[in-house]
Structure 1
Amino acid sequence: MEDLIPGLTDDVARECLARVPFNAFPTLFSVCKLWRQELRDPRFHRLRKSTGNAQAVVVLVQSVPDFARYTGPQTLPYRLVIFEPATGVWSSLPPCPCLPHGLPLFCRLAAAGTELVVIGGWKHTKRATTDEVHVYDFVSGQWRRGSPLPSPLRSYFACAATHDSDEGCRNVYIAGGHDERKNALRSALAYDVAGDSWKPLPDMARERIECHGVTLRGKFLVLGWLCAEAFDAATGSWGPVEEAAGEEFYYSKTYVAREDGRLYRCLGREVMVQLEGGVWAKVAELPGEMRRARYAVAWEGKLMVMGFGHDYVFLANILDMKATTTRTTMAAATWKKVEVAPGYRGSVLGACCSLI
């Protein structure tokens, strides 16, 4: 039987491979069949997490930097940008070969394990809604075309991925939005990333447009104007989010779930966490230079909030939250300013975070 690394036991070889930075995965992937199989094995990625070698990667749908060539926000081409919190490095992912004009406007983005899924949006050339699905694989460093989004074509829908992707189950849920005639939709779908297939879900109780998706404690939450619903995959049914009743979800893109099973939000100038019983507790105030928060992502005790300052320049800050003392209180938190590299200060239309 061939060894992963000649002269080493496979356990030691895995420890070595697990310490390689995620951006070197495409190089490892091209070495040999055994390494390709190892990088595809969910146990390898669980090892990276358990040994502290998994790296947080923040992914943004962001406009290209050459603003002078375009006449308005709806004509700006968009790309995928990544930020590595551990190193402070900003970079762009390889462009999708099937999208020569950039990512579709208002596309939805979800992180499913080591892959990024881009769904729908408006084509730049025709301003027409697209059913295209594109998947970027951090392991191989390549794009592939996914199975098209089933009809009806929709825009402004909620989208979120499950958090158990290292177990081999990688699903992306979408719900609501409006069709090409601007009719609000109740329908929902699930995309199996590994199987490249869609399946219908039960309809929501009501139509929702301009909604935002969050995965919280195994449920897919769809947050809309003054209301929310949750899909429980275990029971295959929708239910109300009781603790959300009456809450303001207009800026729902700043709602994010963390691995501690809690929901966080940025409302006004306050960052808040939802404690047991649906009670919201203040965690911190936004940094003084940030005028408004627009997006937030979370990973392992950190919350990255993105928005713009008084001069409308893109800003980002990371909130470092200390260990929670009880299930009903939150300890102190501190901000760290993110230095945004030149060329990565364009408008943002989507964000997610992956632990690779």
Structure 2
Amino acid sequence: MEVELIPELPEEIARECFIRVPFDAFRTVRAVCKLWKHDLESPSFHRLRKSAGLARPVVALAQCDPTPLLADKAKQQFSRSPLLYRLSLFEPSTGAWSSPPPIPGRSHGLPLFCQMAAVGRELVVVGGWDPRTWATSDEVHVYDLVSGAWRRGARMPGPRRSFFACAASEEHQTVFVAGGHDESKNALRSALAYDVAADAWVHLPDMEQQRDECRGVFARGAFHVIGGYPTEEQAQFTRSAEAFEVAAWRWDAVEEGKLEEAACPRTYVVGSDGRAYMCRQGGQVAVLREEDGGAWRRLAALPGDLRVALQLVAWEGALMVLGLRAKGGAQVAYVLDLTEEGEGKRLQWRKVETPREFSGHVQSACCLEI
């Protein structure tokens, strides 16, 4: 006899109820019984949830845990231990914050300056620095947001790199890495691809230019590496970009003038609408649209109490900016609803209510759809 998903309910009604379980209740649902755990973690559950329009964005952040620092401040003491970075999750639809369990065996937290990319329901954490020694890491860790489990991935091959471009293709279930610098501070042209399901790395052809502190995004079937600078021109950012066409397995010609300003491209993102967004000097967010002839234009002014914009995250119909408050330097976050954009309309930022335990500095961020 087949076990009912929800006793005394027809299967189709039970299924409709089940796919409406909010993300913050997944952990509780998994613990109810083996059937619910199996169903929740099955690919069919998430396909049905997505096709019904019930998938919701979840923002993943590599965030400093302020708790030890707050405790030490209360004691009027300074902590001698290294800063502890952890994974934080924010759900825009509910405003809920949560912190998943740490990586097993890593009481010292996430690597400093690690990169994160989302592939389906999994979050891939790549590289960074060991917070105890500041040694460059080639480790890969994968977190399944549905099962709540971490697993170790194959180490990133080649020279250990820092401040590289990183982005993922959900279609190809692959994370792409390019540029950055090696342990001798030499800017790199090399690139790699990590197949998440196969847990295997492959080398890509080299880029044409060295690109340290570059930004990676995946859009229109290509891995785009934005900005950066060569070894001999430290911190002199270029405005150019290169794109790796996955289907053709080659890099396109260097695109000059991709960026509006020769500045750090860390806030460059591409939304679900295919448009590029970036924070620019003068306290503004700019947008790059094909219908504007490839020119950047002002989208909105940044919130007045935001002194430095550190991260920009995009999901369908919205942007989230995270940065430092003008007074006090505390972390602050706002969301911009892009669905309100229209002729003559002024977009409005909505402040994100942030609990004290999630007020720490954010080093990297990305968005998943669960």
Q: What TM-score results when the alignment is normalised by the length of structure 2? A: 0.86
Aligned 8 A contact 2:60 2:366 in 1: yes
Aligned equivalent of 2:38, options 24, 32, 36? 36
Are residue 219 (structure 1) and residue 222 (structure 2) matched? Answer: yes
1:220 and 1:189 map into 2 onto residues whose CA distance is 11
Summarize deviations over 1:212-247 as a string: whole Å, max 9, x none. Answer: 111222221111222211111121111246374463
Secondary structure at 1:253's aligned position in 2? coil
RMSD (CA atoms): 2.3
Matches within 5 A, 1:144-159: 144-159=151-166
In the alignment, what sits opposite 1:297?
313
In the alignment, what sits opposite 2:274?
261
Secondary structure at 2:93's aligned position in 1? coil
Q: Which residue type is aligned with residue 322 of structure 1?
A: T
2:47 and 2:271 map into 1 onto residues whose CA distance is 18
Change (3 A) 1:33 1:152: farther
Are residue 310 (structure 1) and residue 322 (structure 2) matched? Answer: no
Shift of residue 302 of structure 1?
0.7
Give unpaired runs (5+ residues) of structure 2: 73-77, 228-236
Q: Which residue type is aligned with residue 247 of structure 2?
A: A
Are residue 353 (structure 1) and residue 367 (structure 2) matched? Answer: yes
Aligned 8 A contact 2:192 2:203 in 1: yes
Count of aligned pairs: 346
Change (3 A) 1:77 1:150: same
1:115 and 1:161 map into 2 onto residues whose CA distance is 11
In the alignment, what sits opposite 1:288?
304
Shift of residue 249 of structure 1?
5.2
Secondary structure at 1:242's aligned position in 2? coil
Shift of residue 11 of structure 1?
4.1
Change (3 A) 1:4 1:163: farther
Are residue 116 (structure 1) and residue 123 (structure 2) matched? Answer: yes
Change (3 A) 1:71 1:330: farther
Aligned equivalent of 1:343, options 347, 357, 370? 357
Q: Which residue type is aligned with residue 313 of structure 1?
A: A
In the alignment, what sits opposite 2:63?
62
Aligned equivalent of 1:321, options 327, 330, 338? 338
In the alignment, what sits opposite 1:334?
348
Change (3 A) 1:231 1:93: same
Work out which of the two has the higher radius of gyration on C-alpha atoms and give 1 or 2.
Answer: 2
In the alignment, what sits opposite 1:76?
83
Secondary structure at 1:93's aligned position in 2? coil
Greater shift in the superposed pair: 46-55 or 106-115: 46-55
Greater shift in the superposed pair: 49-58 or 279-288: 49-58
Shift of residue 83 of structure 1?
1.3
Percent identity between the two aligned chains: 51
Shift of residue 23 of structure 1?
3.1
1:21 and 1:249 map into 2 onto residues whose CA distance is 42
Q: Which residue type is aligned with residue 187 of structure 1?
A: S
Secondary structure at 2:348's aligned position in 1? strand
Change (3 A) 1:264 1:234: same
In the alignment, what sits opposite 1:21?
22
